[in-house]
Structure formats: structure tokens, C-alpha cells
Chains A and B, each alone.
Chain A
Amino acid sequence: MDLCVFGVDDGYAEAIIRGLRASFLTEAQYQQMKNCASIPELKSFLEETDYQNCLQADNPQIPTSILRQRLKKKLADEFEYIEAQSTGTLTKYLFHLRCRFMIDNVVNMIEGLKNKIDIEILLSNIDPLGWFPEIKNIKVLEGDDYSSLYRDVLIDTPIGVYFMKFLEESIENLHENRTLNDIQNLFREMKPEYIRTSLKKMWLEDFYLFCEQELMPTSQEVLLELLKFEADFKTIQVIYNSIGNRDLNTAAKIITTRKQLCPTIGNLYPDCEKMYLQAMTLDTLREAVKGCDNYRDLLKDAPDPLKREEFNVQTKTLDDIMYDDECRRYALAFDGQGSYGVFYSYLKLKEQEIRNIIWLAEMISRKLAKNHPGWKKIIIPFSHLGK
């Protein structure tokens, strides 16, 4: 049914996305990029592609950070255009997508301010996709007083809800007769990375709920599947990273932290929850997730987190493996018609493309040898299709 009426409101936006799909760099183009000897050469190559207009005004010797900013700006512009063309549920949906970037921006700002980095630099580095007007007011933050930050600034913002929930949860976890001091201590110890993970977890759960309640069945079918996998990946990542983490010294603490950070959706939850919360080595983690699909295969190649010190550029980390698998799934979303999945996938895949370009730019600017394993460490969107 929804296939008949999808085009009424969202057909145009979907058509734009499918048009933009053609802008992805191809494998041959990646090959050419790898052959570039210097940054100006890379830039002039990118000017032959869809990135032409956003780079033209720049100096040939463009720093990687600015390059990244330009590429992201282009993606943000495209996204904004689609947002402007959308109505009703799609607008809400697209806004939800933006929230992820807003969370990143807020956490980056907090982190930067804590490290006493100049606000101008921070503002110039924020992801244009997650820009919102209140972001510059985060400067008001004093010390580690997140609750006043929330009260004064973030309360109005779209991510205010998540921040509030986060604060509530973290305070609830303290013992009963907590004092103001306790709370401040708690905040002081809190790492921005921890904030980011929990905020994202809340966002993911919220987004999942939104998709479940408001979207039409075809979109749901695609999106819920994708989000479940994403949640599972998040879970595995959290568990994986907490194995052998020195900051979490007691087993009880590990489990409570894990419980807080793991999303309560996905294929693993709640069936395997007990097992993965207890997993203390890579092998037990593998055992915990074996019931689900191909996670076991993914973890098979992952390096042991207990030997973190031995990692180097050559290691294919868990993140790389996961990006690879995700990319494949997102590309599949383009196969279906009449679903919102393409918007989500487009963002994700473009992000991957930007990551690739930046990675190559880094490799090029460091003048690494062409047989360096790092050159192979890019994941090309839609490259799975041919196989």
C-alpha cells in the first residue's frame, strides 16, 4: 500500500537521493587517487569529480582538516537541500538523522573546552551536518557542571532530551544519600567519550522507536533491520573496548557500565544480554554472539583487545571490519524502492567516502610507500555490488 502513496510526498526527495547516488567515486577513481603523488594532484583529481565546486576556490596545497571540512560542507549542503524538499514525516525523520551529528558536535565542544582549546577553532571544526545555533553557547560551560550546561543551553536544543536522560541516569546510579559534591565528582570523572556513547545509545533507541511508530511498513522493514545491526555493532564495540580496560577495574563496575552503554534494541538484546555482559575475553564474547547471524565471523578476524599495545597501522581493527560490513548493508538499502532507508544509507556511505578521501590524503601527504598496507585500508561504497 505505501508503495502507491510514497511518491506523493517523498518521491521527489527520493529521486534526488538516487540522482546523488551517481556521485559516489568508483573503484577506478580510487585507484587513480591512490596514484596521486601530492596533495595538489589529489585536489585537481577531486576537481574532476563531483567535489569540483566545493574545492575550486582553495589553495592547491590544502590542509587535510580543511579538505575534510569542505567535503563535509558539501554533504551538509546536499542534505539541507533534501531537507528543504521534504515534508511531514520525512522532515522529522531527516531531523532525527541530524541529531547524531549534533551529539558528536556537542561532545567535541565539551571535550575541546575542557582541554582549553580556543572556541573559534572548535567552532570552525564542527561538523556542518550537526550545526545548531546553540552550539556556540556551550562556551558557558563552567568546569564540569553538565547539569547547569543542560539547564542553561542544551534544554532548548533537539538533543536536550537525550542529555537530560543521560544526566538523570547518571545521578540515579549514585547511592541514595548523594550530596552535591558527589554529583560534581561524578561529572569530573566522566569522560567525554562516555558521554558520547551513552548519548548515542539513547539517540539510537529513540530513533528506533520513531521508525517503529511513525514510518510506513516498507521503510520500517529496511530501517529497523539496519538499526538493529547498528545497535548490535554498538554493543559488540562497547563490550570489546571494555575488555581489559584499565579504568574499569572491578567486574561489577564493568558490568554496570556495559549495561548503561549497550543499546536495549537489536538482535542480541535481550536474548544474549546476560552472556555478553559477562564476557571478559574475546573468546567469551565470540561465544556470546554466536547465535546471531554473521557476528561470529566478524569477530573471528578481530584482533585480541588484550594485546592492544601490539596494534599498528597494519592491524585491521574491529572498527574496520565493522565499517566494511556496514557499508555492504547500507549499499543494499538502495536496492529497495519507496523506503526512507536510502537517506540514512546515503549519509552513512558518503561519510565513509569522506573518511576514505581523508585517509588517502593523509597517506599521500605523509608520502608513504605505495606498498604500505595502509593504502588498502579503505572501504569503497558499492564495491560489493560487483561481487
Chain B
Amino acid sequence: MSFFRSKKMKYYSLVIPRESAWVVMNELARLGQLHFVDYDPQLPMINRPFANYVKRCDDSLFKLSCLELLLKEFKKNLNYCENVEELLDYFSQVQYDRMKPGHTYFDELESEIEQKKIQIQEQSANLQNLLDRVNIITEQQLVLENAKEILGQSMFQQQTPHNPNDYQQLKFGQLIGVIEKEEEVRFKRIIFRVTKGNAWVQIKDLNNQEIDNSMRQSFHLNQNNTSSPRCLYVIVYPGADESSSLKMKLLKVCDSFNRQRIEYPNSMDELQRKMMELNQQLLEVKNLIEMSKQQLEQSLDELVLQKQGCNCSYFEYMRLYVLKEKYLYVNLNYLTMRGSIFTGYFWLPEGLEIIVEEKLRNAMKNNRDHYPTGQIQEIKPYSTTPPTYFNLNEVTMPFQEIVNTYGIPRYQEVNPGLFTIITFPFLFGVMFADIAHGFMLFLCGLYIIFWKNYLLKQTDSMFNLMIPFRYLIVLMGFFAFYNGFIYNDYLSISLNLFGSCYSPEKQEWKRESKDCVYPFGVDPVWQASGSSLNFMNSYKMKLSVILGVIHMLFGILMKGVNTLYFKNYLDFFCEFIPQLLFMICTFGWMDFIIIVKWLNTYENNTDPSIIETMINQVLKPFDKPVYPVFPNEAEFQLHLTQILTLIAVICIPWMLLPKPLILGSKNDKHKVNMSDSQYQPLVLEKQVSEQDDDNNQQFHNDLQNAANLKSFSEQTNEQHDSGEIWVHQMIETIEFVLGGISNTASYLRLWALSLAHGQLAEVFYDMCLAGKLDIGGILGGLLGGYFYIVFALLTFGVLMTMDVMECFLHALRLHWVEFQNKFYKADGYLFNGYSYKKILNDNLKQSNSK
């Protein structure tokens, strides 16, 4: 349960025979505590033993996504899985009932998916064809009707001309058909050019989309917007001759537009007959549509159906199963295959070996063929550092997330996430200090905590996104509330809760008694005095510096804890101690005199200036302070400051010099031994492996040798030469010394933001409420209401959203930069447990119906 440091990890090798690889991996994935190490990250996925399976899973998933589109089109609502644990149990139940090796179930599902996909796509294509057919028929009908209207009766009554020169008796031919709407202009133009203007073209919109959609509606199908608008054309050209060149040309042009052309009947009767025919066809096709639609719905319903004992639709069941299978094979690919044995390496949190072994035994028991299952064996980890693993819960998760966003903690390093739980909301509260605003935020957090389950179902709710951060919000609200009391700030008004120690007397404030102190927070009388801003500024400024120095000192202490834990005594003595001393002797001392000054009363304007004291302590180290902080003890203060300054100055070379010198001398010694040491371990390994007759072991060692070599070359790269060490140390020192000053100054943002917050609240109050509520009468009531609404909106928009965000960001910065740079290495990598639960949870879908 330690959250202070990441869990201890152990490195294991896993050996499983090929036959039981699936079973073992299946069993281990339920555990979710293994972090598999890729044995050769350079090897492309495609060359791994199970690449084929992964590919097949991908194909199946792709097919399923095709099916899903169809399901959506036919408005089938799936039941989505909500509890992964139950589903996984159901999976294993199904496996158990099958009485066949587990991995073959995927083959079955795969072929089933393939079959379903082909079947359903065929059916839907069929349906689409029929629908198109209906469209074509209705289009034909429309074209004929319209053509009849446009051409009129006289078209049929043309007679063969007796005299070809008599243009009144010239015979006309006609062409009718359909083209795309957008080609209308081009069509007209080409016809004009081809006939040199000797044809009459009439074009009319078909409104085919509306027809199509209304027809689809009659079958309760989704609207289809893919069809482009079309229109019909009627061309009348001179010369009815069947084989005139003009006609041939026109035919060619019309055909090249790719849409249907319709033969116009020769007589009215024929036209009627054709219309009848079309009507007949239409009826037939519509019947067919009805039938095929039913079939399709039937097969789709099979997918929606929920099987006995399963908590989701069959479709979803298949999808999740394939996902799970894919995940298994991807992880199996991290293992290396040799003959019929798989060997892999994984990290396991300390203390879980027994559970893993039990799982393996279980796998053996459940395994139908009783193949021997795998073995695990602890081995010494080479080269790679273990992953960082924390057991998180819903409270700690957001805080760890804040830290992880900056960088994952190094393995076993002090985890700043633990302190962040309190320091983060607290620093936020210092900036956002207001009783009312803090309380509102607090209530908001409480609301999310108690109505969590209700909110989870509200997919469109704004609160939904804040659910993971509910505990963070509550704490932030609480500390803002608390700090509001300290500053005694309620929407920019001070509350007189405990009775002020001052009372007005003859235009002056009189203190009740010398010992009277306002019990909690700032005395409300300050607000009434003219100098409240001055007082609060100086108070908040000093407070933020004090908080900042404490925060940073704490960070430095954590560095000490880290160095001791990793037994890095060089860093402990040459970095941690001088750093700590430096901080205490400069800014720690400053904090100290601030507090001393608060505690003392100074007579006759002899109160010391802190800044002056600090500056003089360095610039005039031998002059007695004019206004000593310790009243009447200037001599003592002078000696004290001299000592402190001396220590601080000594600390700087102490940080800079010893560490690189010591490292350099070590390096020289190392270089001498280098040539020997490089080969020694390998030779040893070889001896061991020679003794070992087991073939497997030999292979195992070879692998480890390879890994060893790799790591060795990395290590040699990491060995800096002394120049680099010097530069590095110089940067570190300068950064710390300068950082001490600039980081302390950076904590002044605590003051600045709370000042900004207070001033904004005051402006809103003054502009909207103060004085406006005193106007009597109905008008006053209305005005009051109006101004109240403005006030509420401004408070919500500016203070409760924007300012929360701003204070959040500044608190974040104070943690990431000022606090964490004192000790935090942040170069670890996250533990990535091999777990079905995780992968399935990531891929769950929410049904929209709820």
C-alpha cells in the first residue's frame, strides 16, 4: 500500500511450452499484475511468431466495424457491456463449456464473423439494389409523364412530309432521358455545339432525392443522402430519320453522360401500356423489398440479441472477445520462441509470486489436455530499471496524475504525489481564498461525490468530465474556504464573527484592551480602516514567502531522504547538506526574522525593514544594524548574521567542488580496471553455461548475454568524462543558488493571485451590489434583482471558472517547478500491467440511449 515510494519490483522469466501458451497467458491476464518486457524491441511486429494472429484479429475487428455501421443504419440499439469482470467470467464459462482447447474459440468466432459479415452485407446490398431499382422505375415513370406533357399530343401525329422543302411539314425526332443535375449546363452546351443550335432542349428537375427519401420512409429506413440530384431532359431535333448522322451523334452524346436514356413510345396507346408495365414492376419490386428487409432485420437482430448469462449484445460480446484475443497475442509476441518453448521476461510487484504460481497451477488444472504449464523463476534484472508502480485509488489518482503529467517518478524515488494531496489544494486555497467562493467549490465537489452514479449516466453533463477529479475539487474548495477565514474575506467583505477588538470612538478606533486579539483570522476592523490594502499586502506577501520557503525546504529534505534510501552518500554530503544549509541560512533566516518582527513591538518608529536587514547583512557585514530585529540586541544579531552569511558563502563551493573531484578520481581508478572488468562477467557466464548441460539454459544464457552486452555498451556511453561532470555540477550549483532567490520570489504569486482575486471580488461587489440594494420601492426591487443577476453571473464566470483555472495553473507550476526541482528526477516509466480488464475497460462503449 505504500504510495510514498513505488512498489518493489522483481524480474522473472517465464517459460511456457507452446501448447499451453494460450492457456497460461489467458490465466495471467486475469491477474493483471505482470509487466511484460519486450525481448527485442527492435524486431518489427510483422516478424514475430503471432503477427498473423494479430492481423487476423484486426481483420475481424474491421469486419465488425463494418457490421456496426449497418446496425446503426437500421437503428438497432446494442446492449453495451458495463461490467468487464462479469463478462470475463462469462468468457471463461463459455470456454469451459466448449470442452475444446481455448485458443480455437477464436477460429470459430472468426469464421462466424466472416460469415455474418458476408451474409449481412449481401442482404443489405440486395436491399440497396432493389431500392435503386425502384428509383429507376419511378424515374422512368416521371420522365414519361413529363415528356408527355412537354411534347404533347402532336408529337405522335406527325406525318411524313410530302415536300421536303416545306419546313412546316418537317418531321422531328426526340430523345428523352435522365442526367445529373450538375451536368445540366454542360449537357445543354454540348448539345448546342453538336447540333449547331438546331435542337430544342428542355430540362426539368426530377426531385429524385425527395422521392427516394419518401420511398425509404415508407419502408422505415434511414434517409439516404448519397444520391445526387438528377433532372430529365427532352431533346427535339429536326429529322426523324432513324439513321441520320445528327441522331447518331446525339445518341452518342446522351449515352456518354452515363445515365439512362428512355425510348419514347410511338403512340399514345403504347405510352399508356408502358406506364402500366412500369406500375406493375414497381409493385413487384416493392414486395421484394419488404421481404428482403425482413430477412436483413432478422439477421441483424441476431447480433443484438443478448445470450443467456452474458451482460451485453452478441455483437458486443464478439467485439470484446476479439479485442481480448488480440491483446493476448500482442503480449505473447513479447515472448521469444525457441523450438516449442516460449521464454519471456516480466516485472512483478514483490510478494505476488505465490499468486502467479497458483494461477499457473490453476491453468494446469483447467487445461483440458493437461499439458504442463509454465514456470516462473526469479532472475537478476539486467540493465533495465524496473517500472514505477503505485496502487492508486480514486482519491489518490488525480494527484498522481498531476505529478505524472510532469514526469513519471523514477523507480522507488520519493513520490511527490503523496504530498501533493495536501499541498496542492492548500496552495490553491491560499490564492483562491474566499469563504463564499471556497464554499461553493466545496459544495460542487461534494455534489459530484454524492451524485456520482447519477452523473455518470448523464453523458452530456459538464460535471461528467470532472468526476475523476471530485476529491481534488472538494479539497481545493475546503482549503479556499479555510484560507478565506484566515484572510477574513467573504465576497470582499470581512465578517465580524467573534467580535472585533476595536470599537469606534470619536472618529478613531479604540482597542478594547491591550491583550485583546481577534481569535481566528484577520480582525474585521482592518476593512473599515483606510489602510486595509496596505496591511493585507504586506501580510500576504510575508505569508507567501514563509509558505514558499517551508515548501522548498521540504523538497530539499526529500532529496536527503532519496540519497539516503539509494545509499548515495556522495550526494548526501556534497549536495543535500550544503543545499539545506544554504537555504536555511538565507531564506530560512529571513522567515525567522519576519516572524520575530511579528512577535515584537517596536517603540518610536524603530521597527526594522526586513529587506534592508537582509541586504545590509551581505553588503555591510561589519556594521551593527541601526534598527535591530531583536530589540536592544544589535551586537548579538550582528554576530549571528555574520556566521549565517559565512555558512551560506561556504556552501556554494561546497556544492560545486567536492563531487566532481571525487567522481573524477574514481573514474581514473576505474579506467585502469576497465579493460579487465569488461570481459570478466562474460567469461564467468560462459563457465556457468558450460557446466549447465541443459540446452534450454544455454539458450537462456545466450539471451541474457545479448541483453548484458547491450546494456554494457549503454553504460559505457553514460560514463561521462570529467569535463562533462564539471559542467554538469556547475550548472546544478548555479541553478540552485540562483533558483533559491528566483523560486522564493516565484512564491510571491501566492500573494499576487489572492490579491487579484480579492480585488476582482471587491470590484464586482462595489459595482453591482453596494448601495444598489438600498433604493426602496418597486423600482428599487427590480433594480436590485437586475444587479444581483449581473453580480451572480460575473462571480460565476470570472471568479468561479476563470479564476479557479488560473489559481489551479499557478498551483501546478509551484509544484512542478519550485517544489519538484529540488529533488524529483522524473525519469521512470509506468508499470503497464498485462490485464484484460484494463484493455476491455478502455474499449468499452457507452450506449447513447441512456
Q: Which residues of A approach B to under 8 Å, CB–CB?
A: 32, 44-45, 48, 56, 119, 133-134, 136-140, 142, 151-153, 155-156
Whether A136 pairs with B193 at a CB distance below 8 angstroms is no
Chain B at the A interface: SS class: helix
* 10 interchain pairs, CB-CB under 8 A: A45-B46, A133-B182, A133-B183, A133-B186, A140-B194, A140-B256, A152-B190, A152-B194, A153-B190, A156-B186
Contact indicator A56/B62 (Cβ below 8 Å): yes
Given A44-B55, A152-B194: A136 in contact with B186 (beta carbons within 8 A): no
Q: Which residues of A contact B258 (CB under 8 A)?
A: 136
Known: A152-B193, A155-B193, A156-B186. Is A136-B257 also a contact (CB below 8 A)? yes
Q: A44-B55, A140-B249 are in contact. List 6 more A-B contacts (CB 8 A).
A: A44-B46, A133-B186, A136-B257, A137-B253, A137-B257, A151-B193
Shortest Cβ distance from B44 into A: residue: A32
- The CA of A142 and the CA of B194, in the complex, are separated in Å by 12
Minimal Cβ-Cβ distance residue in A for B189 = A156
A164 to B186, CA, bound (A): 19
Residues of B within 8 A of A137 (CB): 190, 253, 256-257
Query: C-beta contact mask, B717-731 vs A, less than 8 Å → 1, else 0?
Result: 000000000000000
Residues of A within 8 A of B255 (CB): 139
- B390 CB to nearest A CB, Å: 34
| Contact pick for B256, options A44, A48, A139, A155, CB 8 Å | A139
Interface string of B36-74 (1 = CB under 8 A from A): 000000001110000000010000001000000000000
User: Which of A119, A140, A151 gathers the greatest number of chain B CB atoms within 10 Å?
Assistant: A140
C-alpha spacing A119/B194, complex, angstroms: 20
Q: A44-B55, A133-B183 are in contact. Are A139 and B252 (CB under 8 A)?
A: yes
Expressed in whole angstroms, the Cα–Cα distance for A136 and B180 within the complex equals 13
Chain A residues near B186 (CB-CB < 8 A): 133-134, 156
Interface digits, B775-806 against A, CB 8 Å rule (1 contact, 0 not)?
A: 00000000000000000000000000000000
* A365: min CB distance to chain B, Å: 20
Identity of the chain B residue whose Cβ is nearest the Cβ of A135 in the assembled complex: B256
B56 CB → nearest A CB, Å: 11
Q: Shortest CB–CB separation between residue B611 and chain A, in angstroms?
A: 47
Question: Which residues of chain B (174-195) have a CB below 8 Å from chain A?
Answer: 182-183, 186, 189-190, 193-194
Complex CA gap A138/B252 in Å reads: 10
- Chain A residues with CB under 8 Å of B182's CB are 133
Q: Is the interface of A mostly helix, strand, loop or mixed?
A: helix
Contacting residues, chain B, for A142 (C-beta < 8 A): 249, 252
Please provide the chain B residues from 233 to 258 with a CB less than 8 Å away from any CB of chain A in the complex.
Answer: 249, 252-253, 255-258
Chain B residues with a Cβ closer than 8 Å to the other chain, count: 19
- B249 — which chain A residues lie within 8 A by C-beta? 140, 142
Is A136 in contact with B190, judged by CB distance below 8 angstroms? Answer: no
Shortest distance in angstroms between A331's beta carbon and chain B's nearest beta carbon? Answer: 25
When the two chains form their complex, are residues B194 and A136 in contact, meaning their CB atoms are under 8 A apart?
Answer: no
Per the bound structure, the CA–CA distance linking A140 and B62 in Å amounts to: 43
Point out the residues of chain A lying under 8 angstroms from B256, CB to CB.
Answer: 119, 136-140
Contacts of A133 in B (CB 8 A): 182-183, 186
Residues of A within 8 A of B193 (CB): 151-152, 155
Cα distance, A142 to B253, chains bound together (Å) = 11
Nearest B residue to A136 via CB reads B256
In angstroms, Cα B43 to Cα A32, docked, is 12
C-alpha gap A153/B183 in the complex (Å): 13
Most-contacted residue by chain B among A56, A119, A137 (CB, 10 A): A137
In the complex, A151→B189 CA distance in Å?
Answer: 11
> Which residue in chain B gives the minimum CB-CB distance to A56?
B62
Q: How far is the CA of A180 from the CA of B407 in the complex (A)?
A: 82
B184-209 toward A: CB 8 Å interface, digit per residue (1/0)?
00100110011000000000000000
B189 touches A140 (CB 8 A): no
CA distance A44 to B51 in the complex (A): 11
Q: Using Cβ atoms and an 8 Å threshold, which residues of chain A touch B257?
A: 136-137
> Closest chain A residue to B52 by CB distance?
A44
Chain B residues contacting A152 (CB-CB under 8 Å) are: 190, 193-194, 253
Report the minimal beta-carbon distance from B683 to chain A, rounded to whole angstroms. Answer: 36
User: How long is the Cα–Cα vector from A73 to B454 in the complex, in angstroms?
Assistant: 48
Chain A residue nearest to B55 (CB atoms) is A44
Hey, what's the 0/1 contact readout for B254-271 against A, CB within 8 Å counting as 1? Answer: 011110000000000000
Residue of A nearest to B183 (CB): A133
Quick check: B44 and A140 within 8 Å, CB to CB? no
Max count, chain A CB within 10 A of own CB: residue among B45, B62, B189, B190: B190
Q: What is the CA–CA distance of A153 and B249 in the complex, to the nearest angstrom?
A: 12
Q: How far is the CA of A156 from the CA of B255 in the complex (A)?
A: 19
List, in ascending order, chain A residues with CB within 8 A of B252's CB: 139-140, 142
Measured CA separation A356–B186 after assembly (Å): 39
Q: Contacts of A134 on B, CB cut-off 8 Å?
A: 186
A146 to chain B: closest CB distance in Å?
15
- Shortest C-beta distance, B228 to chain A (Å), equals 12
| Closest chain A CB from B117 CB (angstroms) | 12
- A139 contact set on B, CB distance < 8 A: 252, 255-256
* A134–B186 CA distance with the chains assembled, in angstroms: 8
Q: How far is the CB of A12 from chain B (nearest CB, A)?
A: 28
Q: How far is the CA of A93 from the CA of B323 in the complex (A)?
A: 47
Residue of B nearest to A119 (CB): B256
A136 contacts across to B, CB distance below 8 A: 256-258
- Please give, as numbers and ranges, the residues of chain A lying within 8 Å of B194 by CB-CB distance: 140, 152
Q: Which chain B residue has the least Cβ–Cβ distance from A60? A: B59
Q: Which residues of B contact A45 (CB under 8 A)?
A: 46
Least Cβ–Cβ distance between B253 and chain A, in angstroms: 6
B86 CB to nearest chain A CB (Å): 33
Nearest 7 A/B pairs, CB to CB: A139-B256, A137-B256, A140-B252, A152-B193, A152-B194, A136-B256, A140-B253
Chain B residues whose CB sits within 8 angstroms of the CB of A32 once the complex forms: 44, 46
Report the Cα distance A137→B252, complex, angstroms: 9
Taking CB atoms, residues of chain B closer than 8 Å to A44 are 46, 55
Docked CA distance A151–B190 (Å): 9
Closest to A153 in B: B190
Instruction: Pick the residue among A48, A140, A156 that contacts B46 (CB under 8 A).
Output: A48
Q: How far is the CA of A151 from the CA of B194 in the complex (A)?
A: 8
Which residues in A have their C-beta under 8 angstroms from that of B45? 48
> In the bound complex, how far is the Cα of B190 from the Cα of A155, in angstroms?
10
Q: Which residues of B contact A48 (CB under 8 A)?
A: 45-46
CA distance A133 to B256 in the complex (A): 11
The distance in angstroms between the C-alpha atoms of A133 and B180, with both chains bound, is: 11
Rounded to whole Å, the gap between the CB of B245 and the closest CB of chain A is: 10
Closest to B193 in A: A152
- Docked CA distance A167–B258 (Å): 28
The chain B residue sitting closest to A41, CB to CB, is B46
Q: How far is the CA of A45 from the CA of B253 in the complex (A)?
A: 44
CB distance from B531 to the nearest CB of A (A): 53
Q: How distant is A216 from chain B, measured CB to nearest CB, in Å?
A: 35
How many angstroms from the CA of A45 to the CA of B186 in the assembled complex? Answer: 44
- In the complex, A161 Cα to B274 Cα: how many Å? 46
Closest residue to A45 on the B side, CB-wise? B46
- Give the nearest-CB partner of A137 in chain B: B256
Q: Which partner residue on chain B sits nearest A155 by CB separation?
A: B193
With A and B bound together, what is the CA distance between A151 and B62 in angstroms?
49
For the complex formed, measure the closest distance between the CB of B51 and the CB atoms of chain A, giving whole angstroms.
9
CB-defined contacts of B189 to chain A, threshold 8 Å: 156
